[in-house]
Structure 1
Amino acid sequence: MQEFDYIVVGAGSAGCVLADRLSENGRHSVLLLEAGGSDRRFWIKLPIGYGRVFYDERVNWKFETEPDAGLGGRSSYWPRGKVVGGSSSINALLYVRGLPHDFDDWRDGGASGWSWDDVRPYFEKVERRIALDETSEGSGPLQITNVARRAHRANRHFFAAAEEMGLERTADFNGNAPEGVGTYDITTRGGMRHSAADAFLRPALKRRNLALLTHARVRRVTFDGKVATGVEYERNGVVESVRARGEVILSGGAIASPGLLQISGVGPAPLLARLGIPIVKDNPAVGGNLQDHIAISYLYEASEPTLNNQLAPWWGKLRAGLQYAMARSGPLSLSVNQCGGFVRSHPKAARPDLQLYFNPVTYTTAPSGKRPIINPDPFPGFVVSFQPARPTSRGRVDIASPDIATPPRIEPRYLSTNEDLDKVVAGGRLMQAMVATKAMRKLIRVPIEPDVETLDEAGLVADFRARAGSVFHPTSSCRMGREGEDAVVGPDLKVFGLSKLRVVDASVFPNITSGNTNAPTIMLARKAADAILRDA
């Protein structure tokens, strides 16, 4: 049986960072196990290829939630990366640290050492930021690009509308003044996606002390009493075991990590007993506290050309393709999510509580086929969208079978608190005010039903329940906190009651951050790696 100092399960955003950092000094052997395959695919590397991998089962787990009462009994689609780089290889590329109070709330909730002052240096360690003038700041491995000058000109109407409304303007969501509206930074390098695999893992694989196994699905963590000794995985139909001299580190994300704990005997005792799984550690919090962002979009036909005009017709696709091939520029080099911001739903709000998106593109035709492709509409259109930044509803994710190949039961329990319902109404009112501005009136030709301006308070909630969907930010299902207080790991990310086992990914967030979750996941892994090395 092979042995390594560290076994990292999952080559997603966190796993790639851990593999890089833990192998860096050359003193530790590291095995990285990934259930998916290679990320060397054209549609992954092309920034706007997001629409091609969104439903592609070759690189995407394509999870479905249970019917959710908060959404009127609808299920939600939850894409997650099944590929090297994880969801950083298939996401919409936005890089958003979150707001400083998010991390102070982590500290106050029992995650000592994870305040904004504690985590900010670790964001800076991973970042190399490319400004508008092409100058760079920072020497980290991950390239983050400011694309404000390359964003679609239709965005000017959004900024003018925000100014009419008195909303703040920010030049940098990741800077000292993140509140306001602006253009989102994206993780690209030379016009191509710069995933966690590109930034951290690929350079590290040159080291002899790091091994990567793809198409290796971990079946369970092995234990000697309360001590994690290694993992059992299946690859090419063969079951293998591997031992960890140091630690086993789960980095499968907010869906896979709690599932792997449960199937290994760590989780709610009634669930494990019902499924016939021997109990190693009873902890009802494993799989609990699940959080996600949920958003609604309002669509409009536009009075001037948008990205639809560039990407819907064949000649537009050809032109954009040539522009990208020749200069790695143009619409194919950008995210579909171009601008938005963090704003207060009303002037008396204590802090920004809504995240906004403005996209100069619409998709109203449902894609079909085995691997559906999302295509823009054949008319000019745009989207305004909002999500409650810090939802308070919490759900669960649990295994449905002792067989790890069986899809889990995901219960988001969206809109299960009055506070979240209040934010739905507040966000709807803000959208009504925005589309009523003179600036937006210039861009709107006609609303695509339903028209948000016609909805009263009850109508806003009913429409949200009927149409809102996940923004694909699952977190907190193995939350970090104090032992005995509905948590799975401590601030050191060690699993309570067990030895030589940690969880390092978005599942340990004490609560969801205000924005997109890829950046804080990368930060968390970088900070965790230093703690692991100190212990060594």
Structure 2
Amino acid sequence: MSSKKLVDYIIVGAGAAGSALAQRLGANPHNRVLVIEAGGTDEHPHHRMPAPYAQEPTRPRYRDQHAPQPLAVRRLGHRRMGGLIAGGSTAASGTGRGGEADHDMWETPGVTGWNRARFLGAYTAMERHAARATGPHDDRGRQPAEVVSPPDAATELWIRALARWGIDTEEDVDEGPEVTADLPRSMPTGAWTSTFRTLARRRARRRNVRVRSHCTARRILFDGTTAIGVEAETPRGTTQFTARREIILCAGAVGSSLLLERSGVGDPEVLTTAGVHLVAANPAVGSNLRQRRGAAFTLRLDGVPDRRDPKPVTPAARLKAKAGKVLRRAEAQRGGDTSVLAVLDSQGEASGPDMELLFTSTPVADRDGDGAGGTGRPEEATVTFCPQSSTSVGSLHITGPTLQDPPRLVPGYLSTDQDKERTVAAFTRAREILATEPFASVMTETFPGTDVVDPEAVLRYVLDHGVTVDAVGTCALGTDGVVDDELRVRGTHRLRVADASVMPALTTGDTEATSMAVGWIAGDILRNANTRSR
């Protein structure tokens, strides 16, 4: 066997968690680490420009495709839940830690060590923050500083509208029951920086870490119930890699659970129906899918300074405009659009936040890919609302043994009365703020339109044209979960999962930061396991 195909550790997925884990394992020069990534690299300048980050998840080449089940309203085509690019979803989004109590809920009888203190230690080790960044920091941490762009004119008007509701601007959204804060991003030089670029790319100085892009894991290879390698598809055909120590799945809430099932680990009934030989029974695989469902208002802005340039009418003016466009593109790489995140009480009672409201001073295409929403014109802006804690549960399972067999996705959106009530309340609260001066006088709601008012119409809109923000839970931690508190896949040996799929519940913030921390903690677990085995 080629020495390039025989390594100590195989990490499947170069997203938030996989990149952090590669950094931890690669710190030991004696470890030979292979990272398998289905997508390409994030080298293209487009992935480093801040402005397009909101549109990036909508591009089909960077998303997984799924065969959905009918929802309460109609059959919904899905294009989401996986960033098919090195860096994963962090190549196209920011990061946020979530609330203080988010991680303490993970620690239950039989699951120890997964609490806020442990995550805070991981965050501190990973991050260093620039001015106005949030939380304690370690100046020698690995993650570049999170910085924010100065607000543009439209954002300033939005902030003033929030202030009329008593929603103050703070450095951190944890500062009060209803606050707003600039959304920090990993842009220490003004260009977007994904976790892959900032963490795993240290392999340039570490010959013991290698990344294979455009390499899709088909199945895990087993000797009995012991994981020994990975079979993968590459542009040159099928190949196999062997791990001397362990295999860690960091392919996300979609990729990790589906890979387990294609490899024979999962619910015996699901595997039998899909025509997959059973290796280890683990009925929880693919269940407990938790997703956050919200929707966006598309707005046309009029009378806001510097929203668009006049058209040139002479050859000289056209040449000057072309040169200006090049300069503005460079400027966009340094600054880009601004986004402001508010955490609110959907009832307006300030008893505690239960929704997020994100203002972005650029248009955002419809993320479920049905063509509705904005036109992408520069005079558009977007306000996205999303309830924080979803109680609805879905599932995701394979339908056949190959990568070409579309998975069976049952989203479970708004399947509980609590989620329906919170969604309608969040929609109503968002529209109240949209109607507040001074922002109201410069905007016109173009989608969904003012005729969407009653609860049934709101729910239909959210189901038909909504945004699925995060997905977790398909390989959840727990006494009855897919993995134990050391992230080992139950029923197998030398196989672990370390990504968003192990989260038993959604965090109140974006899941990227938590995924990075899970990968970092997994590195500590593996290092300790190796120490004990010596």
For the aligned pair, the TM-score class normalised by the smaller chain equals 0.7 to 0.9
The alpha carbon displacement at 1:110 in A equals: 6.2
Among 24, 31, 41, which residue is 2:27 paired with?
Answer: 24
- Relative to the length of structure 1, the TM-score reads 0.88
Among 75, 86, 89, which residue is 2:88 paired with?
Answer: 86
- Partners of 1:312 and 1:375 within 8 A in 2: no
Q: Aligned to 2:34, what secondary structure does the other structure show?
A: strand
1:264 maps to 2:263: yes
2:200 corresponds to which letter in structure 1? L
The alpha carbon displacement at 1:68 in A equals: 4.0
Once residues 261 and 365 of structure 1 are traced to their aligned partners in structure 2, the CA distance between those partners, rounded to angstroms, is 31
Among 73, 76, 98, which residue is 2:78 paired with?
Answer: 76
2:525 corresponds to which letter in structure 1? A
Once residues 241 and 448 of structure 1 are traced to their aligned partners in structure 2, the CA distance between those partners, rounded to angstroms, is 51
1:303 corresponds to which letter in structure 2? D
> How do 1:367-406 residues align onto structure 2 when only pairs under 5 Å count?
376-377=376-377, 380-406=379-405
Flag the 1:109–1:382 CA change in 2: closer, same or farther, 3 A: farther
1:458 corresponds to which letter in structure 2? E
Among 498, 506, 528, which residue is 1:534 paired with?
Answer: 528
The alpha carbon displacement at 1:497 in A equals: 1.9
1:478 corresponds to which letter in structure 2? C
Higher mean C-alpha deviation, range 207-216 or range 65-74: 65-74
Tell me the alpha carbon deviations over residues 133-158 of structure 1, each in whole angstroms, 9 at most, x when there is no partner. 9xx9632222243325x222211222
> How do 1:249-328 residues align onto structure 2 when only pairs under 5 Å count?
249-305=248-304, 308-309=307-308, 319=324, 321-325=326-330
Flag the 1:429–1:311 CA change in 2: closer, same or farther, 3 A: farther
1:257 corresponds to which letter in structure 2? S
The alpha carbon displacement at 1:300 in A equals: 2.8
Flag the 1:61–1:365 CA change in 2: closer, same or farther, 3 A: closer
Once residues 41 and 232 of structure 1 are traced to their aligned partners in structure 2, the CA distance between those partners, rounded to angstroms, is 28
Once residues 229 and 235 of structure 1 are traced to their aligned partners in structure 2, the CA distance between those partners, rounded to angstroms, is 19
- Partners of 2:177 and 2:344 within 8 A in 1: no
> How do 1:143-222 residues align onto structure 2 when only pairs under 5 Å count?
143-148=144-149, 150-173=150-173, 180-222=179-221
Taking only aligned residues, the RMSD between alpha carbons, in angstroms, comes to: 3.2
Flag the 1:365–1:341 CA change in 2: closer, same or farther, 3 A: closer
The alpha carbon displacement at 1:453 in A equals: 8.1
- Partners of 1:169 and 1:179 within 8 A in 2: no
> How do 1:411-422 residues align onto structure 2 when only pairs under 5 Å count?
411-422=410-421
Tell me the alpha carbon deviations over residues 86-113 of structure 1, each in whole angstroms, 9 at most, x when there is no partner. 2222x1x322111112112222486432
The alpha carbon displacement at 1:222 in A equals: 1.4
Percent of aligned pairs with the same amino acid: 28
- Partners of 1:157 and 1:440 within 8 A in 2: yes
> How do 1:53-64 residues align onto structure 2 when only pairs under 5 Å count?
53-58=56-61, 60-64=62-66
Once residues 232 and 34 of structure 2 are traced to their aligned partners in structure 1, the CA distance between those partners, rounded to angstroms, is 12
Q: Aligned to 2:118, what secondary structure does the other structure show?
A: helix
- Partners of 1:264 and 1:277 within 8 A in 2: yes
Q: Which ranges in structure 1 are unaligned for 5 or more consecutive residues?
A: none
Once residues 200 and 384 of structure 2 are traced to their aligned partners in structure 1, the CA distance between those partners, rounded to angstroms, is 34
Flag the 1:343–1:122 CA change in 2: closer, same or farther, 3 A: same
Once residues 325 and 177 of structure 2 are traced to their aligned partners in structure 1, the CA distance between those partners, rounded to angstroms, is 32
Aligned equivalent of 2:467: 469
- Partners of 2:287 and 2:395 within 8 A in 1: yes
1:481 corresponds to which letter in structure 2? G
Once residues 312 and 282 of structure 1 are traced to their aligned partners in structure 2, the CA distance between those partners, rounded to angstroms, is 64
The alpha carbon displacement at 1:359 in A equals: 1.9
1:509 corresponds to which letter in structure 2? M
Q: Aligned to 2:205, what secondary structure does the other structure show?
A: coil
Flag the 1:239–1:417 CA change in 2: closer, same or farther, 3 A: same
- Partners of 1:307 and 1:361 within 8 A in 2: no
- Partners of 1:360 and 1:381 within 8 A in 2: yes
1:427 maps to 2:426: yes
Tell me the alpha carbon deviations over residues 361-411 of structure 1, each in whole angstroms, 9 at most, x when there is no partner. 33689999xx9xx96326x33332210111111111111221123332222
Tell me the alpha carbon deviations over residues 296-322 of structure 1, each in whole angstroms, 9 at most, x when there is no partner. 122333232277526999988863540
Once residues 199 and 312 of structure 1 are traced to their aligned partners in structure 2, the CA distance between those partners, rounded to angstroms, is 40
- Relative to the length of structure 2, the TM-score reads 0.88
- Partners of 1:170 and 1:179 within 8 A in 2: no
1:49 maps to 2:52: yes
The alpha carbon displacement at 1:64 in A equals: 4.0
Q: Aligned to 1:100, what secondary structure does the other structure show?
A: coil
Aligned equivalent of 1:500: 494
- Partners of 1:34 and 1:84 within 8 A in 2: yes
Q: Aligned to 1:88, what secondary structure does the other structure show?
A: helix
Q: Aligned to 2:144, what secondary structure does the other structure show?
A: strand
- Partners of 1:230 and 1:241 within 8 A in 2: yes
How many pairs does the alignment contain?
517
The alpha carbon displacement at 1:436 in A equals: 3.0
Tell me the alpha carbon deviations over residues 256-280 of structure 1, each in whole angstroms, 9 at most, x when there is no partner. 1111100110011111112221111
Once residues 493 and 365 of structure 1 are traced to their aligned partners in structure 2, the CA distance between those partners, rounded to angstroms, is 35
Tell me the alpha carbon deviations over residues 418-458 of structure 1, each in whole angstroms, 9 at most, x when there is no partner. 111011121022123212323333333x3325445861333
1:479 maps to 2:455: no
1:341 corresponds to which letter in structure 2? A
The alpha carbon displacement at 1:212 in A equals: 2.0
